[in-house]
Amino acid sequence: MHEMGIVQSILSASVEAAEKEGATKINEIRISVGDLTEIVEFALQFAFEALSPGTIAEGGTLTVNHVGASARCADCSTEFEHGRFEVQCPQCGSIATIPLTGRELTIDAIDIDEDESPDEESANPE
């Protein structure tokens, strides 16, 4: 299951970024996954539940935004949405297309809780 490796990478990058910002907990990681990636959301969720314990993302959620496939016709420049296998331009019938969306796999946002302990200066006013 390649989703385990994908989620491990997402978790590692998210934890590293969150800790740099002083996070004590990751509440949610939002990602975008293109329909053409063949990544299965159920497998991503399963992997997240298996891999997040013991990290600051434990108890958090993984939210997946699905991105549909689209392309631009190389002949007439029409932009159109399509399925996995039907990539023919609806305007001119050409099969010469340029992929636009559908292959994404990105971390869009990380919702965190930060350490709210007062800094030394405000704790010891002079």
Distance CA 112, CA 22 (A): 9
Q: What is the pLDDT of residue 119?
A: 53
pLDDT at residue number 13: 97
Listed by start position, the domains of the chain span: 2-113
Instruction: Give 74 or 122, the one with higher predicted confidence.
Output: 74
Contact 113, 25 (CB under 8 A): yes
CATH number of 2-113: 3.30.2320.80
More confident residue, 123 or 2: 2
Span 2-56, pLDDT tens digits: 889 999 999 999 999 999 999 999 999 999 999 999 999 999 999 999 999 999 9
- Closest by CA position to 103, among listed 65, 62, 69: 69
Measure the CA–CA gap between 3 and 60, rounded to whole angstroms: 18
Cα torsion angle, 33, 5, 10, 115, sign:
positive
From the DSSP assignment, how many helices (H) and strands (E) are in the chain? 3, 6
- Kindly state the helix (H) or strand (E) to which residue 65 belongs, with its residue range: strand 61-67
